[in-house]
Amino acid sequence: MRIGILGGTGKEGAGLAIRWAEAGHDIIIGSRDTERARAKAAEIAGQAGRAVGGMSNREAAAAADVVVLALPAAGLAATLGELKDACRGKVVISTVVPLSFGGGRLFTPPAQGSSAEEAQALLGPEARVVAAFHHIAAHELSVAGHDIDCDLLLCGADADAKKAVAELGSGMGLRPVDVGALTNAGPLEGITAVLATINRRYKLKNSGIKITGLPT
């Protein structure tokens, strides 16, 4: 599968790129700065032992089968406004979490209720947006050679899109858990704020979440 990771020069995007490249997928790193994307792609290729491409965000979205949003929440409107055509009909995975550090409230969702729903509104109804991978620590993703002890919670409106995302998660050893419609993306994203607080309080880098009661 050809996966374009917009904002792929950041820790979360680069970590996902490494894991998926090692699993045999074709990866394209997207960035506002094409040269920065190419430099990060070369770095990831060296780690994964597989060629990785670097392009602008727009080029990466157009070339990919699956588009991953690993962008800052504040930059969604500026980036996605020009990508509607490039994402039409494609699975779009939103890993975006609207966090505001240094204020009174850590989780600060947009008017739509979540960053995933904001992305859906910006890209239009033909984009098949799935919210996922928020709770997988970038530290865990980037350290290859071990399983990640965490479930993959995901939600979205398109059953086939969710199936594709679940398979991408299973391919890196995660157990996918479907938590329903995209309207559940707000609570899903908000859990990341809780995990960030746990990490800070207990001096961790990799707290995660697992759902009990489900068959293994």
pLDDT of residue 6: 98
> Could you tell me if residue 13 is inside a domain?
yes
Q: Is 126 exposed, middle or buried (CB count within 10 Å of its CB: 0-12, 13-18, 19+)?
A: exposed
74 pLDDT band, cuts 50/70/90, is very high
pLDDT tens digits, residue range 147-206?
A: 888 999 999 999 999 999 999 999 999 999 999 999 999 999 999 999 999 999 999 988
This prediction has a pTM of 0.96
Q: pLDDT for 86-145, tens place per residue?
A: 999 999 999 999 998 877 789 999 999 999 999 999 999 999 999 999 999 888 888 767
Rounded Cα–Cα distance for residues 115 and 93 (Å): 11
Half-sphere exposure at residue 134, Cβ-oriented, CA atoms within 13 angstroms: 30
Query: In total, how many domains does the chain have?
Result: 1
Q: pLDDT value at position 102?
A: 77
H helix runs in the chain, sequence order? 11-22, 34-48, 57-63, 76-80, 84-87, 115-123, 138-142, 159-170, 185-202
Of 93, 59, 51, 70, which is closest to residue 9 (Cα–Cα)?
Answer: 70
With beta carbons less than 8 A apart as the criterion, state whether 110 and 98 touch: yes
Biggest CA-to-CA distance, the chain:
47
CATH code of 112's domain: 3.40.50.720
Model confidence band, residue 37 (pLDDT cutoffs 50, 70, 90): very high
Domain with 177 in it: 2-202
- Residue 166 tokens read as 């679940």
In a domain? residue 191: yes
Find residue 128's DSSP bridge partners: 91
Residue 209 lies in a domain: no
Q: What residue type is assigned to position 17 of the chain?
A: A
Q: Is residue 212 one of the residues assigned to a domain?
A: no
Q: What is the DSSP string of 141-183?
A: HHS-SS---SEEEEEES-HHHHHHHHHHHHTTT-EEEE--SGG
Does 106 fall in a domain? yes
Both tokens assigned to 214: 């489900």
Question: Does 187 fall in a domain?
Answer: yes
Q: What's the rounded Cα separation, in Å, for the pair 195 and 50?
A: 32
